[in-house]
Chains A and B, each alone.
Chain A
Amino acid sequence: MNQVGFPVLSLITWLPLVGVGVILCVRGDEETVASNARWTALWTSLIVLAVSLVLWADWDPRNPGFQFVENVPWLPEFGVGYRMGVDGISVLFVLLSTLLTPICILASWDTITRYVREYMIAFLILETMMVGMFCALDFIIFYIFFEGVLIPMFLIIGVWGGPRRVYSAFKFFLYTLTGSVLLLIGLIGMWIYAGTTDIPTLLHTRFPVGMQTWLFLAFFASFAVKVPMWPVHTWLPDAHVEAPTAGSVILAGVLLKMGGYGFIRFSFQMLPQASAELAPLMFTLSVVAVVYTAYVALAQEDMKKLIAYSSVAHMGIVTIGIFTFNVQGMQGALFTMLSHGIVSAALFLIVGVIYDRLHTREISRYGGLADNMPLYAFAFMVFALASVGLPGTSGFIGEFLVTIGALHVNFWLALLGGMGLILGPMYTLYLYRRVIFGRLTKLDLRSMRDLTPREVAIFAPLLVITIWMGAYPTSFSRFWDATVSDMIAQHRQAMAAPPAPAVQLARFVR
């Protein structure tokens, strides 16, 4: 058994489904059902959050390997098992997921009025899928969660989304599915080669170089769509614009991180040679994403779309960091992902606040909100500055580290990647100016209320974490310090060692 003596990861993963069961049992008229569903979902997700804090408290920062491990045989003759565990890479994403879910449920409290019960069920199932994906130590389990996310997300966008929700939901689903099925073929190839689906074993399996390249491309098809990297990012703006606020929060906060996590866990760790070989490709696409999407964001009239494009740019910085193959770059990538998970989620919530009041996301409809919504303006400012990477906020640490990491690789890479630090403020501050500053001329804006207590409760934890991450990053980086150093050392070792000989794939361990 693991260090806490009970299967904490399974508990976090499956507890939301208990909430689903409870919600399904609720009977009564529509209003009662809706209210009960909301409270049940909120309490379930809060309990899950509380349980997940065990990971924070009992984390052993000196152990670079997997912690809180569980292992139950499932299909032993195939080498498939129900294995759960987290290491420094995944643990904070688990916490991010459990943190954002109650926030999403709170954010949807009044805005979702149709099919409330189904909505809450979808979010709890989504939480199970997200947490399970980051905890899975068996890639069949991983894949089940990874793709299972599509079902609730498809329904969330399609049922509760905006006017073009059907188009966006289909685009989201088909884009992601196309990538995922190729990932599946790659995973099956690995499975047959190694005879097991155990991720810790696969991390130490050396695949022949030719095979690595193909596997890398198969994984790339999936993770690049999920991240998303240019040029397969086009589903993201559509999905964000049409998704309900909470859907965007999960999409930006956690779903994009699945791609980054996949790149680290599968491409980087399992395929060192192919990663090194194809790193220039990753760099090129990432730099294009950073520069190009920044300009695209500048031209947006829709707030959500603007933030969606900024997500693509931020994730470009992440992919640069991952493929620098040094400690700073990897740490920076992880930090950027975490920070982006908090900050972009918060920005979508920020947009949601005024969308709830005025039912438009068009930037030009706003202006001068600082006058009558000071609290709102303050929260928006903190998150906007964190998004552009102001020192002292969470965004700075990550981008700074990635730039250092990139400098070790190539000056031009660092320069172009670092453009994000310049272009980011351009569109973000431009957005902030147009919405918050200026004169409050529009009549309907005058009557808008400032943040309600519920909204304050949503933003307060995110705000605290944003500042905390910027001011004292060690309390977060302590989780992955050991793992990252170990990973980079292993990568160097794998690159130095003679490559594994090419073998026929025909052997199959029963």
Chain B
Amino acid sequence: MNWQIALPEIVLSVLGMAILIYGVLRKTAQAQTVTMLCIGALLITGFLEVTRAGGVGYNGQYVVDAFAVLVKELVLVGAAGTLILSLDYNRRQGIARFEFPVLILFATVGMMGMASASNLIVLYLTLELQSLCSYVLAASARDELRSAEAGLKYFVLSSLASGLLLYGISLAYGFSGTMDFRVLAGLLASPASASAGAIVGVVFILVGLAFKIAAAPFHMWTPDVYEGAPTPVTAFFATAPKIAAMALFLRTMAEPFGHLLGSWRLLIEIISVCSMILGALAAIGQSNIKRLLAYSSIGHMGYALIGLAAGGPIGMRGVLIYLITYIFMALGTFGCVLAMRRRGAFVERIEDLSGLARTDPALALAFAVFMFSMAGIPPLSGFFAKLYVFLAAVQQQMWVLAVIGVLTSVISSFYYLRIVKVIYFDPTAPAFDPKSNGVAFVATVSGLFTLFFLVFSGPFVGWAGTAAAALFG
């Protein structure tokens, strides 16, 4: 039994528990210190992740391949970025408790498991580990009504999704007699050999996962949760869990149900189109930037799903490139949102950004870079993300999907431009308070990545290609 296969996850869990005990025992322990320890734990894990050998372990339930490693690294980046962002915010909002970073740590363990799950039960358990931590995180500003509401809403709707997922898993199990991805793939090798019950199960699993990545029409919880949760938690939701859930989605659709592509492709196409259209239209009327970003993230998942609908290594590679660029755009944008603090209070209306170009040119530039990138304007990274998914779609001759995709990207560029307009064209509002170092760091790193992605896109594209090929190995 090759137990070392999960070594980074084990190390991270043990470190998480140790940090938890440290926090409990040292009543005076600063949340700051605990957060730093957690970032250290994530760094160690990230290092272990790249140095370990791949393989399959735990009776085929847990797999470590190039795909899993890529996703885990992204998840770790998302979690670490969130922790850095949370430092200043939590302290100022009076919610700096040592449980917060530890919860993110455990959620990360869950997400790493999601990337490696090769069995429906492992899939479910790791997903629940992540979700459970997320519910608490959403409600972590417990004195605030909106946060509590976000937590509850997230919990109720996400439980529903988990229920659907579980139902789908039980159907798939009932009609095939196995939970193992490889065995399932063998049993469902041709659409003819798949029983109708198993296909219904696939549909339920698909719906459950669509809930988790907040793709339309299963997105209802997103705007409220994004708006209500403390901003660093929103940043977390927008990055790491999305990446992990998407990875789970990719693996599930590629490995056990890959041969049923013809059966589920139409569903993914519909979800993708709905998400893109909703993301483009619903965000136009928003005045709260967190809500706007919630709709924008729905749209982004729609674009990423184009790659999944196209299927095959090229489609999956498109999705992975999308996720790589998206995580940095999202982290950076939320970093900018966290810099919106006036007279000690965090503000989140779009009008608050008015005339930012005059009062804080650097922040304005960073914001503009992220907005143009999210709109998919070259030479920023968001363009390459869209390029590779459209490439996959056109290659599969999915012209309609590609054309809907580019047209919705034009529509969505309207609201991204609106933010740029408020920042650059509108009269100056009072300046924001000075940025904290953590926020500046995250925004700068993400901004540079977004700006210069075209220069070093080669290795990333290659890495994503290897990872996608591993799914079909």
Contacts and interface: CB of A to CB of B under 8 A. Distances in A.
Interface stretch (B155-163, B332-340, B394-402): B394-402
Contact of B406 (A115, A140, A144, A181): A181
B3 interface: no
B370 to A, nearest CB: 13
A144 B413 contact: no
B361 interface: yes
Interface string A47-64: 000000000000000000
Contact of B402 (A118, A159, A185, A191): A185
B448 interface: no
A173 interface: yes
Contacts of B402: 185, 188
Interface in B378-426: 378-379, 383, 387, 390-391, 394-397, 399, 402-403, 406-407, 409-410, 413-414, 417, 420-421, 424-425
Interface of A: 74-75, 77-78, 115, 118, 140, 143-145, 147-148, 150-151, 154-155, 158-159, 165-166, 169-170, 173-174, 177-178, 181-182, 184-185, 188-189, 191-192, 505-506, 508
B379 A144 contact: yes
A267 to B, nearest CB: 19
Interface of B: 314, 357-358, 361, 372, 377-379, 383, 387, 390-391, 394-397, 399, 402-403, 406-407, 409-410, 413-414, 417, 420-421, 424-425, 454, 457-458, 461-462, 465
A147 B390 contact: no
Contacts of B357: 115, 118, 159
Contacts of A74: 458
A151 B465 CA distance: 30
B406 A184 contact: yes
B378 A147 contact: yes
12 contacts: A143-B378, A144-B383, A145-B378, A148-B379, A158-B421, A159-B357, A177-B377, A185-B394, A188-B402, A189-B394, A192-B395, A506-B397
The SS class assigned to the A binding surface is helix
B377 A148 contact: yes
A158 B364 CA distance: 15
A107 B297 CA distance: 43
A169 B421 contact: yes
B406 A151 contact: no
Given A181-B407, A506-B395, A508-B395, A75 B421 contact: no
Contacts of A170: 414, 417, 421
A181 B410 contact: yes
B390 A185 contact: yes
Contacts of B424: 155, 158-159
A505 B310 CA distance: 14
Contacts of B409: 181
A151 B410 contact: no
Nearest to A507: B395
A191 B391 CA distance: 9
A184 B465 CA distance: 22
Given A166-B421, A184-B390, A185-B403, A177 B395 contact: no
Nearest to A178: B410
Contacts of B465: 77
Contacts of A191: 391
A143 B465 CA distance: 23
Contacts of B462: 77
Nearest to A183: B406
